[in-house]
């Protein structure tokens, strides 16, 4: 029997990818570049960058394919109809256009014979070209799940149970689970949820969210520089870095906590991020005459590290959901702890984020989801003992380095790839 020939270890379909900012983009970019550093030949198929604005980034022709060499990776960016508006119909049009472009690239542009194919969700519709490529070449498909869809969408009220879009997404999930040689999730809770779909436990792997500990680290020079730039002087600076969208981040609790402290002396909030609800958030804060908030757009990792170092407390407000999902352990938690910040976490009791917060001993505070008044009261008290809190949080960095460093996740992904392709080496 003639042995197959391959010219690529992994084709990596990624709907979010650098230079886009955001947790998903950064995580997937570091997975791809990390595999390349380990000697893997990786090709990436991604849309023309458009996140978070919904507009194609400057320097990219919206109607053309774009090829580049980035961090040791061959990256093919494909055209799509950018989302622009908030509507679900427009987003489905965006996903459909990406699938069409990625499908064309798969057949006529990519010119590759991969040992395996990788795709990450959300968004679920964008993994379809990867499934088709894996079947076309009869190679393993690796399905990476950052958040459980469509389950989390039902819990958040984004879609209705049993609606046409819900049934469509369930078909994609069922297809992905039946095709995948490996399913990657970020938490043990998600692993249990995937197993309920009938996926054999031997195919389910947990690669937790984490932080690039070489990028996110204490930096006193950056702290002094950024605090002077922001003009916060001796104020206590509370940072929130994350999406302003309809996901797991509880923007209402964030707003209410800042509102309770709007007249508190020496307390400022630094909010870093973008999303559909960012403008609505700012308008509501303006109506309430809240002058204790500093807004910044999303930042790439190195810049974000500088701003996190300038802060005194990292705030993670999470929504109260009936189910425990991977979204309950956000990347920002590990980034905060990696720079040595005390973490104020609001979430449902007993979830994995709560457990990690407790084990890390990050000198912050856990408060039940939605309790803005208690969060504000704790921050007010913390203002009086800030040096003690910051000093006590420094060992949490060691906890992240040991248990949640991004390089460990890359190594595990590499092991999964080796296991799946051992007969093609």
The DSSP letter of residue 67 is E
Asked if the structure places residue 299 within a domain, the reply is: yes
Terminal Cα distance for the chain, rounded: 16
Residues 59 and 113 reside in one and the same domain: yes
Residues contacting residue 287 through CB under 8 Å, at least 6 positions apart: none
Asked if the structure places residue 302 within a domain, the reply is: yes
Asked if the structure places residue 184 within a domain, the reply is: yes
Looking up residue 131, the CATH number of its domain turns out to be 3.40.50.2000
Residues 178 and 73 reside in one and the same domain: yes
Burial 202-229 (b: 16+ CB within 10 A, else e): ebbbebbbbbbbebbbebeebbeebbee
Asked if the structure places residue 2 within a domain, the reply is: no
Tens-binned pLDDT, residue by residue, of the chain (425 aa): 345 566 889 999 999 999 998 888 999 999 999 999 999 999 999 999 998 888 899 999 988 999 999 988 999 999 999 887 666 677 888 889 999 999 888 876 777 889 999 999 999 999 999 999 999 999 999 999 998 888 888 888 888 888 888 899 999 999 999 999 999 999 888 999 999 999 999 999 999 999 999 999 999 999 999 999 999 989 999 999 999 988 889 999 999 999 999 999 899 999 999 988 899 999 999 999 999 999 999 999 999 999 999 999 999 999 887 555 555 688 999 999 999 999 999 998 888 899 999 998 878 999 999 999 999 999 999 998 888 888 888 889 999 999 999 999 999 999 999 999 986 65
Residues 134 and 242 reside in one and the same domain: no
Residues 195 and 251 reside in one and the same domain: no
**22: containing domain:** 8-210+405-424
Residues 306 and 169 reside in one and the same domain: no
Asked if the structure places residue 202 within a domain, the reply is: yes
Residues 27 and 170 reside in one and the same domain: yes
- Tally the domains of the chain: 2
Q: Which of helix, strand or coil describes residue 53?
A: coil
Asked if the structure places residue 14 within a domain, the reply is: yes
Asked if the structure places residue 3 within a domain, the reply is: no
Residues 48 and 69 reside in one and the same domain: yes
pTM of the model: 0.91
Residues 96 and 241 reside in one and the same domain: no
> Among 209, 210, 167, 163, which residue's Cα sits nearest to residue 190?
209
Q: Regarding beta strands 66-70 and 73-78, do their DSSP bridges make them parallel or antiparallel, or are they unpaired?
A: antiparallel
Token pair 């009791």 in the structure block, residue = 349
Asked if the structure places residue 375 within a domain, the reply is: yes
Q: Is 27 exposed, middle or buried (0-12, 13-18, 19+ CB in 10 A)?
A: buried
Question: Which residues pair with residue 47 across a beta bridge?
Answer: 78
Residues 144 and 229 reside in one and the same domain: no
Residues 247 and 355 reside in one and the same domain: yes
Residues 357 and 417 reside in one and the same domain: no
Residues 349 and 253 reside in one and the same domain: yes
The answer to whether 130 and 13 have CB atoms below 8 angstroms apart is: yes
């Amino acid at each position: 029997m003639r042995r197959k020939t391959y010219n690529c270890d992994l084709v990596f379909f990624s709907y979010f990818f650098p230079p886009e900012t955001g947790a998903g983009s950064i995580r997937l970019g570091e997975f791809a570049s990390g595999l390349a550093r380990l000697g893997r030949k990786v090709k990436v198929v991604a849309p023309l960058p458009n996140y978070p604005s919904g507009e194609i980034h400057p320097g990219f022709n919206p109607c053309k394919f774009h090829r580049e060499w980035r961090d040791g990776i061959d990256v093919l960016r494909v055209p799509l109809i950018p989302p622009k508006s908030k509507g679900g119909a427009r987003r489905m049009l965006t996903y459909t256009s990406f699938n069409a472009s990625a499908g064309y690239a798969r057949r006529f542009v990519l010119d590759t014979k991969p040992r395996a194919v990788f795709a990450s969700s959300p968004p679920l519709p964008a993994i379809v070209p990867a499934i088709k490529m894996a079947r076309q070449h009869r190679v393993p498909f690796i399905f990476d799940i950052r958040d459980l869809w469509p389950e989390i969408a039902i819990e958040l009220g984004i879609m209705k149970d049993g609606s046409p879009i819900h049934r469509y997404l369930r078909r994609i999930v069922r297809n992905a689970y039946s095709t995948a040689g490996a399913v990657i999730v970020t938490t043990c809770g998600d692993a249990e949820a995937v197993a309920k779909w009938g996926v054999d436990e031997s195919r389910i792997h947990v690669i937790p969210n984490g932080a690039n500990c070489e990028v996110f680290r204490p930096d006193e020079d950056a702290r002094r520089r950024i605090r002077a730039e922001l003009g916060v002087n001796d104020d206590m600076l509370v940072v929130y870095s994350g999406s302003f969208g309809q996901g797991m981040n509880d923007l209402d609790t964030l707003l209410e906590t800042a509102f309770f402290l709007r007249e508190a002396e020496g307390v400022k909030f630094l909010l870093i991020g973008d999303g559909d609800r960012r403008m609505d958030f700012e308008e509501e804060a303006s109506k309430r005459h809240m002058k204790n908030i500093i807004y910044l757009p999303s930042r790439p990792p190195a810049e974000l590290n500088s701003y996190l170092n300038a802060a005194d407390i990292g705030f993670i407000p999470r929504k109260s959901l009936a189910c425990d999902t991977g979204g309950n352990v956000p990347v920002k938690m590990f980034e905060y702890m990696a720079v040595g910040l005390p973490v104020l976490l609001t979430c449902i009791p007993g979830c994995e984020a709560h457990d990690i917060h407790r084990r890390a001993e990050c000198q912050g505070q856990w408060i039940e989801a939605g309790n803005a008044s208690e969060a504000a009261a704790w921050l007010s008290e913390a203002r009086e003992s800030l040096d003690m809190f910051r000093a006590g949080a420094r060992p949490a960095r060691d906890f992240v380095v040991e248990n949640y460093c991004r390089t460990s996740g890359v190594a595990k992904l590499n092991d999964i790839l080796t296991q799946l392709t051992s007969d093609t080496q």
